[in-house]
Amino acid sequence: MKQRLLFGLIAISLCFASMAKGEEGQPFCSVAGSVDTGRNDILLDTGWAYRPISDPNPTVKDIKVTLPHTWNAQYDRKTEYNRETMVYTHQLTVSEAQLKNHRLFLYFEGVNSVADVFVNRTTVGQHKGGYTAFCMEITDRLTVGENTLEVWTSNAFRTDVLPISGDFNVYGGIHRPVHLIVTGRDCISPLFYGSPGVLVHQETVTKEQAELTVETLLSLKSGKQGLRLKTSVMDAAGKIVAEKEMPAVGERVEQPFTIAEPTLWNGRKNPYLYTVQVELLDGTSVIDVQTVQTGLRYFSVDKDKGFFLNGDQYELRGFNRHEDVEGKGSALSQEDHERDMQLITETGATMIRLSHYPQSRSFYQLADEQGMVLWSEIPLCGPGGYNFTGYVANAQDNARQVAQEMVYQNMNHPSVCFWGIFNELLVNDGRWKAWDDPVPFVKELHALYKRIDPSRLTTFATCVPQNHYLGCSDLIAWNKYYRRPGNEASVRKFYDEVHQTSGGQPVGISEYGDAGSPNQHYNPRHDKVRTHSETYQCITHEGYWRAIKDSEWLWCKTIWQLSDVQSSIRHEGDHDGRNDKGVVTYDRSVKKDIYYFYKTQWNPEPMLYITDRRFTDRRHAVTDIKVYTNQKEATLYMNGKKVARQKADDIHRVVFKDIQLCEGNNLIQVKSGKLSDECTWVLYKDKPQ
């Protein structure tokens, strides 16, 4: 077994070592060296080039790129929001032995939004939807020698491809990794909705025992008889805790397992993972193997007590997250995903809503490893308050397809507890204007989820009265903002009312928050309100959080959003075409003040932080100084002199009132035990407004 895996690694290394120049000066990848009948997964990240399909000039040189890639990452409303078709090409060399003994598949983790795939100018297939993976076999399209792979990618607006609306940019291109999968004639299929071909169904899980069914999808082409399937379940130390072998016959094999006294995946407390290894055997030879990880857990939601994980009440609080980074759009690297996860876990969050589409498989794996509960949803997105629709009947087929792809590709991830049906679909109710009525189709999607994965709960995010959607899902969640100072009473009143009128369905908060630029501030005692300032963002968040923090019946509380993102429909704040409600900046370089507010709420690690620290130039001598801390009290020093000591309030703020600044530099220091923080503000005597 170890020899087979080692051979696979050598074959992958040889593929990269064989990068050479083709006839047109483009790199190509040779897979001609291997005649092994095992599986190789080769990353095709280099050797790509692209050009607009609309350019008729055959002499124009293609632009060389490395994947992941998107062509419209930059947008500031001064440039066109580019939605068109580009052609990506790649050269692949294959030997006679390779074609005789192997099958070759192209596995795309994500192409936005429609991909037409060609090999040697012959159609292989088409995939609609930019945020789920898909796989196509290319064996019969290949010839001995050099082959041209071509992917026509379009992010143009279409009513039959999701999303047809939404407050985010749709980036075009091959924006997630591409793999060449090489197998023998008989293999564990990579073709079933882009899934790994091994699906772990958790039938019943308790602290005493876990009942599992491992479903393996097969693609058998050789005609050999007597093939067998061996499945092993291993704990985190690699010890086999359950094993079963049976004939490999037909297109799918189901193997039941019982694991006594399992170690449960327990969120941030203990994100314990098991490994499931499935081997396809021909006699004693392993001719294919697929390995997946999963975690064993059970969960529920109570309308009055909220979320329970493994029988214990477990608060779900965290962020919405878009795949969008400055300069890259949605073409994120592994390092980008890891950085976002680190930013989230540092706050003490326990949950992430993946808005508004299935995200990279790397991020699901990170969530498993870090113990983050996920809400994963399809891009069936409404426009919120904008005058457009998120649903027309023409999108139904694509929604059904993407829902199945999302479920089957991510079924093994213990982090995923909720399947999202839609975000902010409008209805006709006087205030809101819809096109086609979405409610019957929402009910259909709920039934689809429950049929293919009854182990998880369905939910949606609404901004219209919930009575339209009662009974359409297991759970309800609200996108409700109340973006104004003094919002606490209104927030509390609203959620108390929806709790009482939900028909017994649990209610959560899918989005809340406010805009905030770290470059904008104001003094609430003297200045006119600046609604996109860091100062204002903190004030509105503080009131909202105070209203909801003790409402344990709210099954989730997720902030909009982790980072600022691009949105072509917005004209506000510091940057055109940007939604600036993130708790960190678009490039992730600045953690805004509000980031530290939530860190004091959720993370018990001792912390002390002076707010408005970037508001350095002052023109009013009298000001308040606000500090976020999870300590009981803090002491203020001005220019080295002790000014006041004060206790923290119920939302972990210490506010020193009526502090007098002196003209010129003011060194502000706060201390609490061994903790300290400081910044400098400058008071200008005659500074203009």
Q: What gap in Å lies between CA 478 and CA 513, rounded to an integer?
A: 12
Structure tokens at 496: 């108390």
Residue 616 three-state SS:
coil
Architecture of the CATH domain 198-294: Sandwich (2.60)
Amino acid at 70: T
Establish how many alpha carbons lie within 13 A of residue 151's alpha carbon, considering only the half-sphere containing its beta carbon: 29
Q: Which residues are catalytic?
A: 424
Band of the pLDDT at 76, cuts 50, 70, 90?
Answer: low
Superfamily of domain 617-683: Immunoglobulins (2.60.40.10)
Nearest 5°: phi and psi at 493? -65, -45
Q: Which residue bears the tokens 């399947």?
A: 419
**Average pLDDT score over residue span 351-360:** 97
State how far the Cα of 421 lies from the Cα of 472, in Å rounded to an integer. Answer: 9
Comparing CA positions, the residue from 109, 681, 644 lying closest to residue 364 is 109
**Residue recorded with tokens 């279409």:** 158
pLDDT category at 471 given cuts 50, 70, 90 is very high
Comparing CA positions, the residue from 408, 416, 404, 400 lying closest to residue 456 is 416
* Predicted pLDDT of residue 205: 98
Whether residue 656 is predicted with pLDDT greater than 90 in this model: the reply is yes
pTM above 0.85, yes or no: yes
Half-sphere exposure of 529 (CA within 13 A, CB side): 10
Please give the pLDDT value at position 101.
85
pLDDT score recorded for residue 23: 34
CB atoms within 10 A of CB 232: 18
Kind of pairing between the strands at 641-647 and 675-683: unpaired
Mean pLDDT, the chain, integer: 92
pLDDT over 50 (residue 1): no
- CA distances (Å), origin 198, targets 280, 282, 639: 12, 19, 64
Q: What is the pLDDT of residues 384-404, one digit of tens each?
A: 667 677 899 999 999 999 999
CA dihedral sign of residues 32, 33, 39, 45: negative
**Helix 396-410 vs helix 361-370: angle between axes, to the nearest 10 degrees?**
40
DSSP string, 652-689: SEEEEEEEEPPSEEEEEEEEETTEEEEEEEEE-TT---
Topology alike, domains 2-185 and 198-294: no
**Tell me, what's the pLDDT at 59?**
77
Share of the chain residues as helix, strand and coil, in percent rounded to the nearest 5? 20, 40, 45
pLDDT of residue 687: 55
| In the chain, where the domains are located | 2-185, 198-294, 617-683
Q: Contact 170/163 with Cβ under 8 angstroms?
A: yes
Q: What is the tens place of the pLDDT at every residue in 81-130?
A: 788 999 999 999 998 888 888 999 999 999 999 999 999 999 999 999 99
CATH superfamily of 2-185: Galactose-binding domain-like (2.60.120.260)
DSSP string, 141-176: G--SEEEEEEEEEE----TTSS-SS-SS----B--S
Which pLDDT value is given to residue 369?
98
Mean pLDDT computed over 542-552: 98
Q: From CA 97, how far away is CA 605, in angstroms rounded?
A: 59
Beta-sheet strand order (sheet of 306-309): 299-302, 306-309, 312-313
Q: Three-state secondary structure along 622-635?
A: EEEEEEEECCCEEE
Cis amide prior to 567 (ω within 30 degrees): no
Q: Where are the beta strands (DSSP E) in 145-302?
A: 145-154, 178-183, 186-188, 198-205, 209-220, 228-234, 240-247, 252-260, 274-282, 285-294, 299-302
Counting beta carbons within 10 angstroms of the beta carbon of residue 478, is it exposed (0 to 12), middle (13 to 18) or buried (19 or more)? Answer: buried
Q: What burial letters (b/e) apply to 363-401, b meaning 16+ CB within 10 Å?
A: bbbbbbebbbbbbbbbbbbbbbeeeebbbeeebbebbeb
Per this entry, what is the length of the chain? Answer: 689
Using a pLDDT cut of 70, give the percent of the chain over it.
93
